[in-house]
Amino acid sequence: MRAQPKASHFIDGDYVEDTAGAVFESVYPATGEVIARLHAATPAIVERAVASAKRAQEEWAKTSPTARGRILRRAADIMRERNRELSALETLDTGKPIQETIVADPTSGADALEFFGGVAGAALNGEHIPLGADWAYTKRVPLGVCVGIGAWNYPQQIACWKGAPALVSGNAMVFKPSENTPLGALRIAEILTEAGLPKGLFNVIQGDRSTGPLLVNHPDVAKVSLTGSVPTGRKVAEAAAGHLKHVTMELGGKSPLIVFDDADIDSAIGGAMLGNFYSTGQVCSNGTRVFVQKGIKREFLDRLKARTEAIVIGDPEDEATQMGPVINRAQQEKILSYIEKGKAEGATLVAGGSIPNSVPAEGCYVQPTVFADVTDDMTIAREEIFGPVMCVLDFDHEAEVVARANATEFGLSGGVFTSDMARAHRVVDSLEAGTLWINTYNLCPVEIPFGGAKQSGFGRENSLAAIEHYSELKTVYVSMGKVEAPY
């Protein structure tokens, strides 16, 4: 097993095993090869991880933000030095092509460690509030033990996007990666420890949907940050509400990408392809409803079809490969069944639509697929598919497309391609979503806040905004005189 870690969990600065936990296999989705065999966390492991985090956090909270930041920046440097090795692991963990992981996965995780490490010394400052003779001040204080629960599409990035702001704010974290991608987070924990992070501050435990609740319901856990689907988000938010815990919810979407007829068509097609096919379509913010103004529909679809059919699908470890498999068989079957629904409900198949030729039968591949003539009521236009399936819908007018784009329970992201800047700003202003792009799509540098509206979640990751979600304000009123009481 070529990616077997030393043990399943990382607690209190070291690898830990508990063979009483249920065995589960980590499978490379390109070939079906078992690359690691692990144990899910037992309640004893959960206890140990939370207790270790609690102990470590009490001391960590007393350190200066600059000292915390220095450790995170050192970890970022180590991640960059080991980018190839970490990317190779991410490729095995997820099936994403090395061509992608080498530019997008450990590097974006390192960006988060570097950014939060860098802003640490200023981002936690409070305020001085003058009140005449009296005054008040605020302090930003840590929450305590925070739990991070990850999805399987960006395991290393998600661990860092949650870990970096949590740690810099003075918290400890217990992170549970997705059961589909258990490996990357263990390496992040190892690297943080090597960079000097005191033991217990970033623990990783394995498990699935039955393990998550043990963490969410734990009385010593102050906050839960979940990246996952809307149904999981509802369950986790409900459990957290029982204890009034802080929550950040990064959930799913069915985001609109609107292309007006004055857009640079090649850029719009590039944006639509990146926003539907990157990571084999397994990106929460994907612009899966591509609204194209009728005047350019033919040209848009012709060029899109040619570019889609030229995508190189295959072995993720080959640097020439542009698209790998999806995460597992169940997801592959789910995506193929959505494609069948698209055909049955009357959408026009423009490209793809099945399993590619010349890939291993054990691999979980799906062709990059484009449907045209999709209407708002079709299942493929309403539900999150989380695979490489692009729906192209037609529209006539701005007001019409904005109303249709907003007619969804989701509100994660959206985009507009047009050369009319007044229109671009007007449209993004009207779209109900957390993150929007003008003349590009899906760029999420750590400097900008990222998160959803409506059913796509709440709270924000990245940017200074994330600090607010991993800390709370303490206000202190200072009287400079005597107390005047009427009794």
Q: Of 164 and 195, which CB lies nearer to ligand NAD in the complex structure? A: 164
Residues 50-89 that bind ligand NAD (CB under 6 A): none
93 binds ligand NAD (CB under 6 A): no
Q: Of 42 and 293, which CB lies nearer to ligand NAD in the complex structure? A: 42
From the list 99, 101, 153, 408, which residue makes contact with ligand NAD (rule: CB under 6 A)? 153
CA–CA distance, 445 with 461 (Å, rounded to integer): 11
CA–CA distance, 154 with 90 (Å, rounded to integer): 8
Looking up tokens 């800390």 gives 471
In the complex, the smallest distance separating the C-beta of residue 410 from ligand NAD, rounded to whole angstroms, is 9
147 binds ligand NAD (CB under 6 A): no
Residues 367-386 that bind ligand NAD (CB under 6 A): 384, 386
The site map against ligand NAD for 384-413 (x = CB under 6 A) is: x-x-------------------------x-
Residues 411-470 that bind ligand NAD (CB under 6 A): 412, 452
In the complex, the smallest distance separating the C-beta of residue 173 from ligand NAD, rounded to whole angstroms, is 14
From the list 11, 38, 145, 149, which residue makes contact with ligand NAD (rule: CB under 6 A)? 149
From the list 66, 138, 229, 375, which residue makes contact with ligand NAD (rule: CB under 6 A)? 229
243 binds ligand NAD (CB under 6 A): no
Reduce the secondary structure of the chain to three states and give it as a string: CCCCCCCCEEECCEEECCCCCCEEEEECCCCCCEEEEEECCCHHHHHHHHHHHHHHHHHHCCCCHHHHHHHHHHHHHHHHHCHHHHHHHHHHHHCCCHHHHHHHCHHHHHHHHHHHHHHHHHHCCCCEEEECCEEEEEEEEECCEEEEECCCCCHHHHHHHHHHHHHHCCCEEEEECCCCCCCHHHHHHHHHHHCCCCCCCEEECCCCCCCHHHHHCCCCEEEEEEECCHHHHHHHHHHHHCCCCEEEEECCCCCEEEECCCCCHHHHHHHHHHHHHHHHHCCCCCCCEEEEEHHHHHHHHHHHHHHHHCCCECCCCCCCCCECCCCCHHHHHHHHHHHHHHHHCCCEEEECCCCCCCCCCCCCCCCCEEEECCCCCCHHHHCCCCCCEEEEEEECCHHHHHHHHHCCCCCCEEEEECCCHHHHHHHHHHCCCCEEEECCCCCCCCCCCECCCHHHEECCECCCHHHHHCEEEEEEEECCCCCCCCC
With a CB cutoff of 8 Å and minimum separation 6, the contacts of 155 are 90, 93, 94, 177, 178, 181, 183, 184, 185
From the list 250, 393, 424, 467, which residue makes contact with ligand NAD (rule: CB under 6 A)? 250
252 binds ligand NAD (CB under 6 A): yes
- Residue 475, classified by CB atoms within 10 Å of its CB into exposed (0-12), middle (13-18) or buried (19+), is exposed
Q: Of 29 and 69, which CB lies nearer to ligand NAD in the complex structure? A: 29
Q: Of 368 and 387, which CB lies nearer to ligand NAD in the complex structure? A: 387
From the list 235, 334, 341, 382, which residue makes contact with ligand NAD (rule: CB under 6 A)? 235
From the list 145, 236, 247, 350, which residue makes contact with ligand NAD (rule: CB under 6 A)? 236
18 binds ligand NAD (CB under 6 A): no
- CA distances (Å), origin 296, targets 261, 301, 349: 6, 9, 18
40 binds ligand NAD (CB under 6 A): no
Q: Of 93 and 250, which CB lies nearer to ligand NAD in the complex structure? A: 250
152 binds ligand NAD (CB under 6 A): yes
In the complex, the smallest distance separating the C-beta of residue 214 from ligand NAD, rounded to whole angstroms, is 9
* Segment lying near ligand NAD (by CB under 6 A), choices 191-199, 230-238, 290-298, 305-313: 230-238
In the complex, the smallest distance separating the C-beta of residue 221 from ligand NAD, rounded to whole angstroms, is 11
Judged by CB under 6 A, how many residues of this single chain contact ligand NAD? Answer: 28
In the complex, the smallest distance separating the C-beta of residue 247 from ligand NAD, rounded to whole angstroms, is 11
In the complex, the smallest distance separating the C-beta of residue 454 from ligand NAD, rounded to whole angstroms, is 12
237 binds ligand NAD (CB under 6 A): no
Compute how many other C-beta atoms are within 10 angstroms of the C-beta atom of residue 20: 12
Residues 199-228 that bind ligand NAD (CB under 6 A): 208-209, 212-213, 216, 227-228
* Segment lying near ligand NAD (by CB under 6 A), choices 31-39, 63-71, 117-125, 143-151: 143-151
Q: Of 195 and 453, which CB lies nearer to ligand NAD in the complex structure? A: 453
Catalytically annotated residues: 162, 250, 284, 461
- Interface with ligand NAD by CB under 6 A: which residues? 149-153, 176, 178-179, 208-209, 212-213, 216, 227-229, 232, 235-236, 250-253, 284, 384, 386, 412, 452
